[in-house]
Every structure is written in C-alpha cells, then in structure tokens.
C-alpha cells in the first residue's frame, strides 16, 4: 500500500505509530522456518521498527514504488514487512507499507490503517493510543483450526466439497498467447472506473433481488465469462474472510480462505434468476468455509497442470472502503491512496471490485503469459455493459444482455463487410466464350504436353453441348462427369454448362457404390466418361453414357450451323459438388452461376490481377471446389491452365519439374503438398495460394520469398469456394497467418452460441452472408438446407451460412481460424464428416461402437484414428475393416490408425471421454498376427526401409502392402519420392495401390533397373 501525504507530517509520531502497530500484532512479527520438511512459525520479540526515509524526485516515484513492491522477503530471516517514507518535498511525502501476504489479508489492511491513524493522531496530540483490547490473537485462530481438523464438521465440509467439485471444468478464457510450458507468473494490473450511476443502479438491483452487491457483480462477471468461453459451468475463486468468530474481526493476520463459487448458466436464465443461483451457491460456500483450500485440494485430488491453479483460474472479490485499506486519516494531512502496479499474477485473472460511496473501481491483475492489456480493458467494458443492461432490465435472459457497446458493434459489422464491386451477371461460360472469340489461338490449357486453344475449347464444348441437348438434357438437370483431370474434362464441364445443365464431377477411383449413390442422388440422365472407365461404372436403364473419347466422332458430327441458344442465367445451377455427410452419405452442394461468378471475379484480383500471360497450375482434384475456382478464374481472364495429370500429381518430383518446365506463374497447393515440394527454384512463379487447412508458419516462410505473393485462402464449399483471403507479409512468421478479411461481396459475422456478435479476440462461429456468394443449398436435403442456411440476423433480407468453423477477430480485424465446432474435420484439404465414417463402421456386423478422431502422430502429421468395440468374441482384422470402409468411401476417409477397446471411457455425464482415449500404437509391422517375412533381396530391404521411415514402423514384412500398413495417399507420395531417389527410377503412387506388397514393388523396381541398364 502507498499513500501520498500532503501537509506537515510528524515523522517521529509516524515512526512510533508503526512500531505500535507491529508491537500490538504478533502476526506481523512472525517468520517461518522448517524442520525436517515441516514448516513452523516464530514470533519475534517486540521492538522499534525500521522506517527508511528517502529523498526522491516526483519523476522517479512510480519506478521506486514498483521496485519496493517487487523486492522479495526472506521468510525465515524476516521481518515480513517493509516501511518507507519517500520525501518529495517538505510537505509532500509518500508512505509505503509492504507486507508479505502470508501474514495479512484485505481485511487486515483496514485494521492496519485504523491502528496507524489511531496511534499517529494520539502521538501528535501528546497522548497514548486508546486502541481496544484484543479479545483473541492469531495464534488462537490457528489453535482452533487445528482442533477442528478431523472433527465431524470438518469431515462434513470435505464431503460437501468432494461432491460440489466433482467434474469441475477448466475455464478456458480466450487468450493472446498459448499457455507456456513453464509459467513465469509475470503480470500487470489494469484499473477501470465504472460510472457512479451504474454503482447506484447495481446497489438498487441487489436490494431488489435480496442479494449483496458482490452477488450482482459476480453474476455479471459470470455472464461475460460464459460468453467468452461458451461454457455453462463456471468456477470462480472467491475469498472467505475466515473470521467466523466476532472476536477475530480486530485481529491482523491471514484468515482469508479462497474457495470455489461454481455457477450454473444452463437454460439461459434471466439475470435475476442467475443472481438467485449465485446467491444459493454463495451461501453453500459460506456454510462450508472452514476447511482450508489446501485441504480441499488434497481431498478432491483434481488433475494438476503446471501453471494452473488446481480448482479455478479466475479469482474475484469485492472490497469496500472498510476492507480495502483505502482510508488512512492522519491528523493535519490529506492522504491519497496510490495505485501500485505489481508485475505478478497469482492466477490467470484476479479481479477486484473496489466500492466507495460514489465509485466502483475494477482492478484486474492478469498474467502477461496469456493476456494483453487491450483484452483485459475490453473485458472491463463488457462487464460494465452487461451490468448496465441488467440494471435496466434484470428479467432479460442472459443471452440477450448487450455485452458490446454500439461503437464496438459497428466496427465489427464494418470489418465483416467485404468491398462492393461491379461484375458481369452473365453465366460464367459466356465470358469464357467471349475470351475465345477475342483470342481464339491463345492456349487455354495444357496437359501431358498437349495444348488446347481457347478456340478449340469453345468449338469442342459447343459440339458436346449440342450432343447433350440431343440426348435430352434440359436446363437445371445434372450431368455426371466421371473422369480424371485432362483436356477432355474441361470440354465436358464447359459443354454441360453450354447445354444449360449442371455437372457433378465424380472421381473414377472412388468406390462404385459411392459413385452409384451420387448418380442416383443427382438423377443424372447422362454420364460423361471415358471408355476405360465406363466398364466399372454402375449401370441404369434410365441413364445414358457418353464416352468423350470413343463417341467423339458422333459428337463431332453434331451440326453447328445454327447458333446455340443460351438457356442459362445467373441463377442457373452450374455444378453440384459432393462433400462428406454426417448421415453416412455424401451431400451435394448446389452452386449457381452467380455464386461461382462472385468468387472468380474476386479471385482474379487477389494477387493484383491475372493476365493472359499467366499460367495457372491446376492441381486440386476436380471433386475439390478450389479446382472449379482456379479453372474458371483462368478461363475468364484468358490465362493458360496447366493441368496436372494424375501421374504427375502423385510425385512431388514430377510436380516440381512440371512447375518449372511449364513456366507456371501461379500455384494453389494444400499445406501438405507445400511441405513435400521444394520451395524453389521456380523462375516464373509469382503467386502462391495456401489453403484448405491451417497453414503452418514454416511453410509461409519457406515459400513467401521476395518477388512472390503468398495468399492464405479460406472458404467452405457452401460459400462457393472461398470467401476470405490474407496476403502474407514478407516477415518471419512464428504462427499461422490469419485467414484475412471478407472478399468482394461477402458478409462475415463471428457469433457466440446464442447468435450475439463476439468481440475481438473471443472465439465464435463464422457466419457467411452475401446472397450472391452462397450455395443454393443441399441437393434433396431441404431440412439440412434450412438448418445450415438461415435468415441473416443482422440484415433485413438475405441468408447466412453457418459454417461450424470456430474463428475470432484479431485486434486489426482479420479473421483468425481456430478449428471446427462440430464433428467435421479437414484432412489434406478434404472435408470429412467423422460421423459418416462412424456410421459406416458400425454397419459392420462385428462392430458394436465406433468413434473416429483426427489426431497427430508423434511427428505431428494428422491422421484419422478409428476407435471401436466389437460384438462377440471374434474381432475383425484391420484389413477387413479397411476393406469394409473402402467399399463405400474413398481412401482418404479410411482411418490409418486403429485402437480396439474393451469399453469406451465415459465422463460423469455418461458421454465418451475423448481425453481418456488411448493413443494408437505406432511402429506396427502390418502382419496382424501373421508370421513376419524378412525382405529377401537388397531391393526389398530398401523398399521396406522407405515404407518403415514414412510410416514410422519398427519393421516391415515383405508380404505387407503399403495401404494395409495404414498408409495414406500423401504418405505414399513420400515413400515413392524416397524410392525414386534411392534407385534413380520413376515410379508413381499408383504402383502402391491394389495391394502391392514390398516384394511386388521391389520386383517392379528391379525390372525398371534392368530395362534402364539395357538402354544404357
């Protein structure tokens, strides 16, 4: 404590008053020692205390106060107090009183001030202090507490706390930094004054509800913490005075006992109802306050984590003028208590409300390991706003209380509004045809070294469009395209659009059952494919098949003497793209021309502006929405598409060579591919897009070199490809860059679980608006469409898409991606509903329960982990489980790690305890009980070594296949890359498919080496 004293100070009287204080109170003369690990207190004899007098300039005051408050005490040597008088002038002094908290508490501060003023005033007047005789001492309190230990009351209170704290959650307050492994306890203090009228209103509300002011303030704090965290079970640390006997009220010492006030916010109660809940919980704490905090912790035995208080992370208290030590009252002097910022924090947050007659002050002590001051200042404003709204109407549900001020709300809405811009409202393909008309000889695309001009693309797509119309395609119908990426795929896509239809691209490598479901779901009357794929497709009498290669002569014969009538408009369906669905079936997202147009018109300007001289790599699979964005962005600007063939896509070396040889200026790659490829040299590369999943800082640093522009892109399929972008600065990134601000024509809102705007730095769900940029909805799923596409709550018209993505605004109003709210994940850029995999797993006759999680392996690589229990005594093999899933879903959705459980661990609420699930076992050899077969040749040994390195396995059996071992496609690319470098040959990932064993791969490599030797 520090007090500025103005007037004529009697230094001698002050010194005697301080000596009287310490003489009277044994707690202040107590030091602490230890014998054989057991601490004990030693009370020193009374004597004259030291009062250090220092002459000081006013300018040095703050630094001096801080230094004196930070200076440590020696608990054994003592004394555990420090008195200083800083002389600024003859009639201007600062009295500094520093006590170790082991001997005093907040109530003691008021007693200390009362005794100093009483003694000083008496000494100044030449009399002896007339202080009341103490009826008890601190030692009496300690003895009484020891006697209570183990008694019936003690045991009953421990039983209460055992039940009260069962399943106690950790309050995860949004922070500015991750919690360090070794906390520093560094802290800062922020002071914020509430308006006097708010204090009067809060007092009136407390009286109206039959509660204390502390209960009203704590209720407001609970509302804010609940909004910040999304949690409904909020434990706060609150101090109990510990002076349960009247005779202890005049005794200086550490009586305070920090206990847990646990508040239930569930059911969205009114503020008045929540006050009642807080009051009831507070009374329970009051009735069970005798057991010390450390004894409760020992009895409850909560999970401990370094740097966290074991039971709560936020402490709060209300101190009045009688308990905060704010009044000194020395005769002939005016005194002012000074704020002394202590750069330490006992908890994550320690929040004190200081009440005087006409002032309510909020003092926040916070750890700088986690928080910046701007966040704590915003929190103070939010508590003030909630309190003001409750004072105005305490019968509002807590979800409706206005936490944000009008200015803050306006800034958030402005930040979430993308720039307005003018763009063509014509169907997308008409702009491509205009480019073809202007520059028919310009190269539209190249694949496997074969080029196709814009004129030829227009001619061939027109022929196909006429052929499709002749086959009965009508506006709005969906045509299936089952093809790998090549020049014919572009012709097919554009031809369907020109026919007036929409297309749904399907990967020919996906299971036939999945393709059949999508063809039936779209009711596709026509499927466009190639002759080598058609034989594996499901057949239907109601479905025609167009072979774009074998039937091309018939397609070419279509007459084009008459202009092709335009049947599409901006609201015509352009394509249907299937994403993973939680019901066990994929769901089709319907994208109209206007939605596709919004993205491509914005994306053409993302890096400045694409020009006909640009050459854009098109690498993502055609079933991935970014492929549609890149294709049409290039085609409406007259640029050249460099299509990556499936064989090049499976080899990092081949992909890097393609970028160089084709003079690529733009690449859009997932973080996984960016990590596999070398960052250069690529002499012509200017633009890089990283997206589809969280972008690690090291990848930005690797690729974002001078002369390049690197953009972090984000967007769900339902918002037509992407809707935010962030141009990464050329700096040393230490964390993932944000996903940026809304693109042209987009609206973004970050909301809490009740739909309120979330403030800066507080996580919430991202809602995406801007009607032109949203999907029409889900094909044949009206209920899901209504659930996910809802009326815009912040505009009179329009819709928003509920992304299920957890994000937050940064202080400079960029959107920062955090993760998923629901059971949906992204793996290698592909969106996966874990529920779809789980539904498929439990359909296996031997599986009782299943859970799938996305987890990182020891090297940090994300993978799907399948947890399961079995029916009966016989468990299916992992190969059987993989085969079962592979019949209905693509390879990337099949877990690569598995854990068989006897039972799933459950929480107290009888839900699966995901935190208690064991980690999968790494280092398997893939034999699953079979005899291990050692590699027999040097080639087999090196192939097995490559597999083992990539899969982190101890050893690999020669008869095990890569995907049987749990490998995924990207790990396969790494294995192929290692094999190619080791042997100097060129194999691709497809060699690993189809159950190829180590021995089989080695045999193929030996054949390649022999052929190479023969040529040499």
Helices (H) and strands (E) in the chain, counts: 29, 39
Band the pLDDT of 143: cuts 50, 70, 90. Answer: confident
Query: Of 168-182, 266-280, 498-512, where does mean pLDDT reach its minimum?
Result: 168-182
Q: Which residue has the higher pLDDT, 825 or 641?
A: 641
| Most confident stretch, 134-143, 188-197, 888-897, 927-936 | 188-197
Q: Tokens for 984, please give them.
A: 């100097």
Mean pLDDT along residues 406-411: 96
Residue 713 and residue 690: Cα distance in Å, rounded?
6
Cα 979–Cα 981–Cα 984 angle in degrees, nearest 5: 95
What's the average model confidence in pLDDT over 982-1010? 81
pLDDT tens column, 848-862: 888 899 888 776 778
Q: Give residue 228's pLDDT band: very low, low, confident or very high (50, 70, 90).
A: very high
Least confident of 213-227, 743-757, 857-871: 857-871
CA distance 765 to 821: 8
Reported CATH class of domain 830-900: alpha beta
* pLDDT score at 38: 84
What distance in Å separates the CA atoms of residue 743 and residue 467, rounded to the nearest whole number? 38
Residues of each domain in the chain carrying CATH 3.30.300.30 = 830-900
The ranges of the chain annotated as CATH 3.30.559.10 are: 2-131
- Its pTM stands at 0.80
| Domain range 161-321+339-403, its CATH number among 3.10.310.10, 3.40.50.300, 1.20.120.330, 3.30.559.30 | 3.30.559.30
Residue pair 105/256 in contact by the 8 Å Cβ criterion:
yes
pLDDT(926) > 60? no
Q: What is the structure's pLDDT at 232?
A: 92
CATH number of the domain located at residue range(s) 938-1014 in this protein: 1.10.1200.10
pLDDT band per the 50, 70, 90 thresholds, residue 910: very low
**Helix (H/G/I), strand (E/B), else coil: 524:** coil
What confidence score (pLDDT) does residue 582 get?
A: 65
Query: Where in the chain is CATH 3.30.559.30?
Result: 161-321+339-403
The mean pLDDT value of the chain amounts to: 89
Under a CB-based contact definition with an 8 Å cutoff, are residues 803 and 768 in contact?
Answer: yes
> Can you give the pLDDT at residue 928?
53
Tokens representing residue 419 in the block: 């720039």
Q: Give the per-residue pLDDT at 244.
A: 76
The DSSP code for 169 is P
Residues 6+ apart with CB under 8 A from 321: 327, 355, 356, 357
> 264 phi and psi, to 5 degrees?
-100, 115
Q: Distance between CA 144 and CA 149 in Å, rounded?
A: 9
Edge-to-edge strand ranges of the sheet holding 349-355: 187-194, 360-367, 349-355, 314-320, 233-240, 257-264
Residue 920's pLDDT band (boundaries 50, 70, 90)?
Answer: confident
Does residue 908 have a pLDDT over 50? no
Task: Say if residues 747 and 770 touch (Cβ distance below 8 Å).
Answer: yes
**And the tokens for 420?**
């307005």
Most confident of 136-150, 531-545, 593-607, 819-833: 593-607
Give the model's confidence band at 524: pLDDT under 50 very low, under 70 low, under 90 confident, else very high: very high
Instruction: State whether CATH 3.90.1310.10 applies to domain 2-131.
Output: no
Q: pLDDT value at position 783?
A: 96
Q: Per the structure block, which two tokens stand in for 974?
A: 């790494």
Residues in Cβ contact with 118 at an 8 Å cutoff, skipping those fewer than 6 apart: 129, 130, 131
Mean pLDDT of 550-554: 95
Residue 815's DSSP bridge partners are 740, 809
How is the chain split among helix, strand and coil, in percent rounded to 5?
35, 25, 40
- CATH 1.10.1200.10 domain range(s) in the chain: 938-1014
Alpha-carbon span 113 to 921, nearest angstrom: 64
Check whether 358 has a pLDDT greater than 60.
yes
Model pLDDT for residues 83-127, shown as the tens digit of each residue: 999 999 999 999 999 999 899 888 888 889 989 999 999 999 999
């Amino acid at each position: 404590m520090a007090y500025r004293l103005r007037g004529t100070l009697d230094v001698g009287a002050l010194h005697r008053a301080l000596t009287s204080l310490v003489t009277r109170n044994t707690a202040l003369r107590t030091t602490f020692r230890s014998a054989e690990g057991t601490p004990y207190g030693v009370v020193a004899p009374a004597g004259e205390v030291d009062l250090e007098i220092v002459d000081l300039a006013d300018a040095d005051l703050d630094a001096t106060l801080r230094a004196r408050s930070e200076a440590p005490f020696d608990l054994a040597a003592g004394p555990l107090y420090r008195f200083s008088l800083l002389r600024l002038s003859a009639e201007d002094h600062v009295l500094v009183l520093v006590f170790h908290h082991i001997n005093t508490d907040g109530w003691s501060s008021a007693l200390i001030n009362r005794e100093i003023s009483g003694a000083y005033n008496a000494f100044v007047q030449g009399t002896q202090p007339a202080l009341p005789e103490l009826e008890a001492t601190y030692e009496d309190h300690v003895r009484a507490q020891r006697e209570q230990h183990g008694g019936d009351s003690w045991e009953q209170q421990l039983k209460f706390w055992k039940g009260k704290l069962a399943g106690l959650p950790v309050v995860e307050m949004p922070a500015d930094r991750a919690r360090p492994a070794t906390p520093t306890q560094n802290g800062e203090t922020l002071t914020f004054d509430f308006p006097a009228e708010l204090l009067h209103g809060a007092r009136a509300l407390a009286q109206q509800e039959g509660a204390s002011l502390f209960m009203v303030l704590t209720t407001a704090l609970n509302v804010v913490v609940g909004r910040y965290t999304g949690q409904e079970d909020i434990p706060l640390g609150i101090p109990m005075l510990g002076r349960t006997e009247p005779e202890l009220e005049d005794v200086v010492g550490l009586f305070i006992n920090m206990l847990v006030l646990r508040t239930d916010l569930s059911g969205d109660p009114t503020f008045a109802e929540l006050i009642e809940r807080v009051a009831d919980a507070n009374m329970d704490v009051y009735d069970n306050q005798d057991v010390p905090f450390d004894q409760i912790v020992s009895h409850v035995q909560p999970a401990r984590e370094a740097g966290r208080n074991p039971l709560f992370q936020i402490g709060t208290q209300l101190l009045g003028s009688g308990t905060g030590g704010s009044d000194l009252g020395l005769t002939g002097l005016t005194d002012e208590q000074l704020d002394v910022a202590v750069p330490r924090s006992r908890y994550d947050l320690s929040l004190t409300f200081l009440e005087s007659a006409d002032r309510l002050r909020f003092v926040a002590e916070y750890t700088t390991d986690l928080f910046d001051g701007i966040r704590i200042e915003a929190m103070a404003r939010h508590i003030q706003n909630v309190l003001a709204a409750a004072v105005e109407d305490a019968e509002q549900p807590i979800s409706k209380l206005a936490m944000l001020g009008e200015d803050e709300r306006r800034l958030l809405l402005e930040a979430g509004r993308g720039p307005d811009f003018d763009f063509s409202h014509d169907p997308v393909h008409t702009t491509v045809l205009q480019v073809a008309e202007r520059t028919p000889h310009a190269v539209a695309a190249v694949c496997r070294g074969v080029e196709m001009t814009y004129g030829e693309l227009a001619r061939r797509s027109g022929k196909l469009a006429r052929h499709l119309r002749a086959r009965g395609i009508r506006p709005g119908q969906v045509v299936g395209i089952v093809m790998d990426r090549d020049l014919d795929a572009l012709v097919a896509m554009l031809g369907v659009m020109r026919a007036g239809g929409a297309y749904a691209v399907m990967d020919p490598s996906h299971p036939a059952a999945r393709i059949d479901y999508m063809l039936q779901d779209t009711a596709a009357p026509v499927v466009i494919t190639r002759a080598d794929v058609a034989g594996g497709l499901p057949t239907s009498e109601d479905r025609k098949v167009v072979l774009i290669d074998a039937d091309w002569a018939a397609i070419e014969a279509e007459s084009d003497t008459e202009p092709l009538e335009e049947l599409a408009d901006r609201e015509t369906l352009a394509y249907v793209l299937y994403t993973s669905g939680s019901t066990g079936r994929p769901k089709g997202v319907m994208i109209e021309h206007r939605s596709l147009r919004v993205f491509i018109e914005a994306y053409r300007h993302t890096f400045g502006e694409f020009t006909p001289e640009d050459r854009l790599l098109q690498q993502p699979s055609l079933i991935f929405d970014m492929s549609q964005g890149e294709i049409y962005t290039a085609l409406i600007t007259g640029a050249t598409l460099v299509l990556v063939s499936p064989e090049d896509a499976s080899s990092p070396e081949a992909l890097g060579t393609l970028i160089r040889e084709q003079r690529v200026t733009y690449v859009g790659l997932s973080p996984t591919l960016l990590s596999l490829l070398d960052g250069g040299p690529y002499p012509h590369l200017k633009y890089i897009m990283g997206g589809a999943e969280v972008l690690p800082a090291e990848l930005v640093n690797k690729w974002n070199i001078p002369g390049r522009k690197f953009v972090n892109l984000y967007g769900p399929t339902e918002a037509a490809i992407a809707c935010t972008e962030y141009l990464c600065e050329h700096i040393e990134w230490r964390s993932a860059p944000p996903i940026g601000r809304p693109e042209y024509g987009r609206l973004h809102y970050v909301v809490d679980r009740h739909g309120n705007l979330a403030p800066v730095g507080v996580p919430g769900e991202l809602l995406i608006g801007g009607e032109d940029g949203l999907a029409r909805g889900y094909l044949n799923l009206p209920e899901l469409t209504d659930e996910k596409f809802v009326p815009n709550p912040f505009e009179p018209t329009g819709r928003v898409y509920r992304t299920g993505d957890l994000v937050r605004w940064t202080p400079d109003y960029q959107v920062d991606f955090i993760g998923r709210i629901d059971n949906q994940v992204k793996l290698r850029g592909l969106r996966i509903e874990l529920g779809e995999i789980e539904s498929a797993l439990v359909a296996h006759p031997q599986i009782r329960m299943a859970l799938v999680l996305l987890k990182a392996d020891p090297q940090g690589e994300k993978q799907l982990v399948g947890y399961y229990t079995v029916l009966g005594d016989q468990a299916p093999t992992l190969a059987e489980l993989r085969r079962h899933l592979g019949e209905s879903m693509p390879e990337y959705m099949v877990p690569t790690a598995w854990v068989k459980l006897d039972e799933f661990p459950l929480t107290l609420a009888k839900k699966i305890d995901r935190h208690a699930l064991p980690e999968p076992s790494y280092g398997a050899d893939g034999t699953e009980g079979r005899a291990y077969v050692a590699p027999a040749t040097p080639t087999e040994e090196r192939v097995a070594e490559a597999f083992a390195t990539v899969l982190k396995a101890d050893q690999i059996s020669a008869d095990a296949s890569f995907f049987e071992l749990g490998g995924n496609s990207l790990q396969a690319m790494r294995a192929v890359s290692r094999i190619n470098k080791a042997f100097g040959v060129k194999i691709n990932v497809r060699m690993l498919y189809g159950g190829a064993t180590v021995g089989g791969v080695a045999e193929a490599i030996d054949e390649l080496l022999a052929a190479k030797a023969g040529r040499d």
